[in-house]
């Protein structure tokens, strides 16, 4: 079977299943036109990534292509890279005010505007991709996320899990928490706040600016995503030490933002296609990165001489202590934050117990010495 045939089969299967699919949150068809009256439209999708960027940009392309194909072209989605229509950090506003109908970004970029959004982007020492998806789709998380963005005229959907990221690129070795003191690092969101409490100095920069900032010494360290994405940025040319695990982003959940009025103007079948296409993209990114990360890491180490390092346990313990405090404080910052935090924490507790019995026990069994 060719790739195209496989893809067509997948898309028909998804389309067939979408009619009975009920994702939580938005009510379909509030002002929707009927399917037969609907005239084909083109939506603009603004993104926070360089165009066609490996992993993240590919996820945006996959989402646009899937919606366009599943709808038979009735809803054509055109992708704009960061800065092509609006800068990366203005994606939220652009979709909210209708400059674009759709966006692809990460929720923690909006922490200055909607601090609670950070729970949906990445939580240091929080849930991994499998647990996060279970919370969002089956544990009430997505309904809370959609409620949070409602005042902005936006409907968010999960649209790309990264899985556990790498800890980042450092221009010096990290032996103890003393080495974090004074460290200027690009690390967004809650992870940045944790770094600050550990004595570091966090910065938030769009991905496209990382390489230069690291190379010129404006920052001492940066995290980005994982080997596949980081190799593409050439970060190995600017720093030698590559640390794991990515305690600050046990997964990042990318988001698809949809303008509520634009969504409500769609007939029910196209609304269903948008929902299921985001869910397919959510899986696609994780599969893409899982398939490519190790080969990219091998290239970084074997071809480019990158020094792979694991954070010392004492450093991880210190980060974890601060992370628990930072996340709990965010959870007390507003009534909505408390609802989200309580839901996240309770779900993480029960999912984590199950992970110990299932995935964690299985990995340990698989790695038992002969
Ligand atoms: Ca990251």
pTM: 0.89
Q: How far is the CA of 155 from the centre of ligand 1 (A)?
A: 23
Task: Summarize pLDDT for 223-247 with one digit per residue, the tens.
Answer: 999 999 999 889 999 999 999 999 9
C-alpha distances in angstroms, 177 versus 189, 309, 311? 20, 15, 10
Phi, psi (deg, nearest 5) at residue 239: -150, 150
Task: Summarize pLDDT for 296-332 with one digit per residue, the tens.
Answer: 999 999 999 999 999 999 999 999 999 999 999 999 9
Q: Which of 26-35, 206-215, 278-287 has the highest mean pLDDT?
A: 278-287
C-alpha distances in angstroms, 70 versus 10, 11, 37, 227, 271? 10, 6, 18, 32, 11
User: What is the number of alpha carbons within 13 Å of residue 65 lying toward its C-beta?
Assistant: 13
Q: How far is the CA of 252 from the centre of ligand 1 (A)?
A: 7
Considering only residues 7 and 104, tell me which one the structure prediction assigns the higher pLDDT. 104
Q: How far is the CA of 75 from the centre of ligand 1 (A)?
A: 31
Q: How far is the CA of 245 from the centre of ligand 1 (A)?
A: 12
Write down the pLDDT at residue 25.
41
Q: How far is the CA of 323 from the centre of ligand 1 (A)?
A: 16
Write down the pLDDT at residue 14.
38
- The total number of residues written for the chain in this structure: 370
Average pLDDT over residues 267-290: 97
Element (H, E) at 222: strand 221-222
Q: Is the peptide bond before 20 cis (omega within 30 degrees of 0)?
A: no
| pLDDT higher than 60, residue 3 | no
| In the chain, % of residues over pLDDT 70 | 91
Q: How far is the CA of 226 from the centre of ligand 1 (A)?
A: 8
Q: How far is the CA of 12 from the centre of ligand 1 (A)?
A: 34
Task: Summarize pLDDT for 140-186 with one digit per residue, the tens.
Answer: 999 999 999 999 999 999 999 999 999 999 999 999 999 999 999 99
CA dihedral 259, 264, 265, 271 (to 10 degrees): 90
Q: How far is the CA of 285 from the centre of ligand 1 (A)?
A: 14
Task: Summarize pLDDT for 192-229 with one digit per residue, the tens.
Answer: 999 999 999 999 887 778 899 999 999 999 999 999 99
Domain annotation for the chain: domains and CATH numbers: 38-162+251-290 (3.40.190.170), 168-250+308-366 (3.40.190.10)
What lies within 8 Å, CB to CB, of 259 at 6+ separation is 95, 96, 98, 100, 101, 102, 153, 154, 155
Q: How far is the CA of 358 from the centre of ligand 1 (A)?
A: 27
Q: How far is the CA of 55 from the centre of ligand 1 (A)?
A: 12
């Amino acid at each position: 079977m060719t790739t195209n045939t496989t893809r067509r089969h997948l898309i028909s299967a998804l389309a067939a299943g979408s009619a009975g699919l009920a994702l939580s949150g938005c009510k379909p068809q509030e002002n929707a036109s009927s399917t037969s009256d609907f005239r084909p439209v083109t939506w603009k999708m603004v993104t926070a990534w360089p165009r066609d960027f490996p992993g993240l940009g590919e996820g945006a392309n996959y989402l646009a292509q899937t919606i366009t194909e599943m709808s038979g072209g009735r809803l054509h989605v055109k992708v704009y890279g960061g800065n092509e229509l609006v800068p990366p950090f203005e994606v939220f506003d652009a979709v909210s005010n209708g400059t674009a109908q759709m966006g692809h970004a990460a929720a923690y970029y909006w922490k200055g505007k909607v601090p609670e959004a950070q729970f949906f982007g990445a939580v240091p020492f929080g849930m991994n991709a499998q647990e996060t998806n279970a919370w969002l789709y089956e544990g009430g998380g997505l309904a809370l996320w959609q409620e949070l963005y409602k005042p902005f005229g936006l409907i968010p959907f999960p649209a790309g899990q990264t899985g556990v990221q790498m800890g980042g690129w450092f221009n010096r070795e990290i032996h103890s928490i003393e080495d974090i003191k004074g460290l200027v690092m690009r690390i967004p969101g809650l992870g940045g706040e944790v770094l600050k409490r550990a004595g570091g100095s966090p910065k938030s920069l769009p991905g496209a600016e990382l390489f230069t900032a690291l190379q010129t010494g404006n920052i001492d360290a940066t995290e980005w995503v994982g080997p596949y994405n980081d190799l593409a940025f050439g970060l190995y040319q600017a720093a030698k030490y590559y640390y794991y695990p990515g305690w600050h982003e046990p997964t990042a959940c990318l988001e698809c933002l949809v303008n509520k009025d634009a969504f409500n103007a769609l007939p029910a079948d196209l609304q269903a296609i948008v929902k299921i296409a985001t869910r397919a993209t959510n899986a696609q990114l994780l599969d893409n990165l899982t398939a490519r990360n190790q080969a990219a890491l091998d290239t970084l180490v074997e071809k480019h001489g990158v020094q792979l390092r694991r954070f010392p346990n004492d450093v991880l313990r210190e980060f974890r202590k601060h992370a628990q405090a930072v996340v709990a404080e965010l959870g007390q910052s507003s009534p909505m934050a408390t609802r989200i935090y309580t839901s996240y924490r309770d779900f993480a507790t029960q999912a984590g117990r199950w992970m110990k019995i299932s995935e964690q026990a299985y990995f340990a069994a698989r790695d038992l010495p002969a």
